[in-house]
Structure 1
């Protein structure tokens, strides 16, 4: 967060977006390889987890042909990979719309790889947020009237956005009409089990907060609390997980004090976003805001922004972008004249 905010003028959004896209392409390629091979690719040196349909603890989907592993990339869980690929995709949209006039085909191919990498995670929420955030970003690029460019440039940006939107719609329809496994993941039966389990985790978090409402049970102590509370039930180890709601988890581990501070921080970031949109209503500001809102929604349904290093890095990267962008647009560099 501090580095991104302090060095935004040295490493502007196009540089950061390009790095995210490059990393996303690597992760998407690994994810597709894992999906095709149905086991890990032996990339232990890069943090890849041991994967196979028979390995305990690996995220799998039951199909008529047996168990299908969800792609991990080199991340600790498919949902975290999904969040990263959503970030990479939105970054790719920004690069494509602003800078890919002479390499449209290559840009669309790379975006397609990222999309199929995201699909291979079978992360329902990440895929839903990708669809929603893509729609918002593209509609903004097409209808916005205050993009800080010339008339000719504005027409080019809109044509790029329309081309990208048509491609994404085709990909979205094609994937959902041909991928029976993905379609089965959004059926009521599959959703009911997930919602029920996550509701139980959130109830444990609420109980922990009620026992220590001011300062919480301590950072990192929710799992020991969970194990102690249900010690007599003889549950398998994988059952003991944090609440799948970032805000409930923060309240449980840091109490009301920590939750109020966290919400105040989000409020300050939101104000920065509003300043950025008012001062510079361009795709540079919008991409950071869309990522921020997407992460706020994802945080209602998972815990990795708090509990996993990769999730924390993603979270603070986006917060840093949101806080840095308004400063750059509101306080430009002084002239040497």
Structure 2
């Protein structure tokens, strides 16, 4: 007979593997000029249903198990929730920020949109709660997460070399080919290269998941090195290096600059930790050599598109048409954000309403020009105002202080990587796959060993 612990554990493993998949049901579809408007539509993902089942199952099992039969219900709630938050201030501060974000519904320019985004942020906190509450081993959860990312990576590699993303209504994937307008490509003088999507809405999002997977994998490698005395003596050396190669290859094929920056920052912190921390005595030489070999190989094989993406880091005349267009759109997004911010600098337009406010400000714009600014701090400032930005700063400050005080190296590395993401992309704040990724990774950061 399957025990409660097994049901909760298997359910969490399944959730970690399936989270990147975009299978969803549209509750409300919105459009601008007859074109589908993603940021104004309401959808329910299949993984959301699984998440809420696991949350309710954990609560029900805790409140009604026999060992707490003689404890009053209010005391059980205290043990399950209040005491849990008190022992983990990182979650308590996240809850404070979420509470203020929920209050923004009172003055939001679109109350329905705000309430919908409150649910999204709540789900991120619930994922974090499930991971920290789980009785499963940290290594097992990290390994399961890496397997899920590896599946997406293999899918993305296949897409790049076949130069097509095959659509699937079941998996929530739209057909993408390089010649179609709006598809994420790298355009050179010779051709248009389709970037790797995996099962996610955009290559940058796949890049974010891959970076998180690589960091989780490196954490497993460090753990194996400590257990075996040396990574080279570990039985997992070959499988881990093969998976690392798979993930790093897929990361390159996303051509995501923000993911590349986050990877360098996050892995750099890990390597520095290995060099200066006496307990590990692992310097990561195998990973450094493997990373260098793969970088040189793909640098030669994909010299033209990689060079094109590199020149697009700054707006200059040598950049290609699409890179110049991308740079202009990012700068235009910041200008739009400043205009929206000045309309209500104290309280903001309301959680999740940036694109709605932008569409009302410029009703003549087509849907592809009604996009969030590519910066999470900017979006928070516009949607929640000075007060919300202050609460966000307090939350992040206490999160960093907690991670440093408890010496949670995995949490510190993930925070550094996601801070880089937040400066150059918006999906960690605006899209389900990004918001839930934060919950998963900070859950791992909290349960990581104190070292």
User: What range is the shorter-chain TM-score in?
Assistant: 0.7 to 0.9
Residues 198-213 of structure 1 mapped to structure 2, 5 A cutoff: 198-213=330-345
In the alignment, structure 1 residue 259 sits paired with structure 2 residue 389: yes
Aligned counterparts of 1:243 and 1:275: Cα–Cα separation in 2: 33
TM-score with structure 2 length normalisation? 0.64
Corresponding residue for 1:223? 355
Q: Say if 1:40 and 1:194 are closer, same or farther in 2 by CA, change over 3 A.
A: closer
**How many residues matched?**
309
Q: Which moved more, 1:131-140 or 1:186-195?
A: 186-195
Aligned counterparts of 2:332 and 2:127: Cα–Cα separation in 1: 38
Of the candidates 402, 424, 434, which is equivalent to residue 301 of structure 1? 424
Q: Say if 1:204 and 1:12 are closer, same or farther in 2 by CA, change over 3 A.
A: farther
In the alignment, structure 1 residue 4 sits paired with structure 2 residue 128: yes
Of the candidates 115, 125, 132, which is equivalent to residue 248 of structure 2? 115
Contact 2:167–2:176 (CA under 8 A) maintained in structure 1: no
Larger CA Rg, structure 1 vs 2? 2
In the alignment, structure 1 residue 250 sits paired with structure 2 residue 380: yes
1:193-237 alpha-carbon deviations (Å, 9 max, x no partner): 5333212102211221110112211223222322233335xx432
Query: Which stretches of structure 1, 4 residues or more, deviate above 4 A after TM superposition?
Result: none
Corresponding residue for 2:285? 162
Deviation at residue 6 of structure 1 after TM alignment:
5.7
Q: Say if 1:219 and 1:301 are closer, same or farther in 2 by CA, change over 3 A.
A: same
Structure 2: runs of 5+ lacking an equivalent: 1-124, 225-230
Aligned counterparts of 1:109 and 1:245: Cα–Cα separation in 2: 34
Corresponding residue for 1:135? 268
1:232-272 alpha-carbon deviations (Å, 9 max, x no partner): 5xx43212111111011111112222211111111111111
Corresponding residue for 2:21? none
Aligned counterparts of 1:3 and 1:36: Cα–Cα separation in 2: 34
Of the candidates 185, 192, 196, which is equivalent to residue 71 of structure 1? 196
Aligned counterparts of 1:262 and 1:175: Cα–Cα separation in 2: 39
Deviation at residue 40 of structure 1 after TM alignment:
1.6
Cα RMSD between the aligned structures? 2.2
Aligned counterparts of 1:323 and 1:98: Cα–Cα separation in 2: 16
Aligned counterparts of 2:370 and 2:173: Cα–Cα separation in 1: 23
TM-score with structure 1 length normalisation? 0.84
Aligned counterparts of 1:310 and 1:60: Cα–Cα separation in 2: 21
Residues 1-337 of structure 1 mapped to structure 2, 5 A cutoff: 1-5=125-129, 7-8=131-132, 10-99=135-224, 101-145=234-278, 147=279, 154-155=280-281, 157-158=282-283, 161-180=284-303, 181-187=305-311, 188=314, 189=316, 190=319, 193-232=325-364, 235-277=365-407, 285-325=408-448, 329=450
Q: Say if 1:21 and 1:6 are closer, same or farther in 2 by CA, change over 3 A.
A: closer
